[in-house]
Homo-oligomer: A and B are copies of this chain.
Amino acid sequence: MTTLSRKRSQKAPYHHGDLRTAILQTAGKLLEEQGVATLSLREVARSAGVSHAAPYRHFADRDALLAALAGEGFARLSEALEAAGARGPRARGEAYVCFALEHRQRFRLMFGGLLRLDAHPGLRAAAARTYDGLVRAFAPLAGPQGAPFAAAAAWSLVHGLAQLLLDGHFPGSKRGERETAAFVRDVLAVVRFARAAQPSD
């Protein structure tokens, strides 16, 4: 049943052309539906229509698949932040929270601590790009020596807000998208970043 040479074989032969991509897609869908904890390699394989050993041709083990999914997540997050960042720092912050709320399980996988960044090449780099983007964005606002701290504070703020919203820790956070967006705006609006750090005691 593939395009050029072969016509209507009964069963697809080995795979549908790119099993690695197919597995990542299937796993991504299952991840978002049910979370990391119950995401099994065997179910992914079943769902992709291959034997339970087939994924091992493309991923060293379950952790490697999870790391690939997290890597995709960091890349998409960076893209979303860069796109929104053009409309200013506040839009960037809101985009961060949006990403978390729209890809809940992916976000949890990225920051849940199941994956050690050091153990997976490329994953740390993908994560670092997110931070770099923030530092660049804050350089004009906080001055050269203040930028890393301001960027760290800003990232912490939106990251914590996203995480606590996901967990439902704020009273009344079960409301709709509209109300959540307003809550996010109001929380972010209350914060100011000082141009320079003060002596800390």
Contact = CB atoms under 8 A, between A and B. Distances in A.
A186 to B, nearest CB: 5
Contact of A113 (B157, B167, B194): B167
A108 B183 CA distance: 25
A126 B164 CA distance: 15
Interface in A157-201: 157-161, 163-164, 166-171, 183, 185-194, 197-198, 200
A114 interface: yes
Contacts of A188: 153
Given A108-B112, A161-B156, A197 B192 contact: no
**A interface, over-half SS:** helix
A149 interface: yes
A194 B191 contact: yes
Interface in A84-122: 104-105, 108, 111-114, 117-118
27 contacts: A108-B112, A112-B112, A112-B113, A112-B114, A113-B166, A117-B168, A118-B168, A127-B169, A131-B169, A149-B186, A150-B190, A152-B183, A153-B161, A153-B190, A153-B191, A156-B164, A159-B159, A159-B164, A163-B163, A185-B200, A186-B197, A189-B194, A189-B200, A190-B193, A190-B197, A191-B193, A191-B194
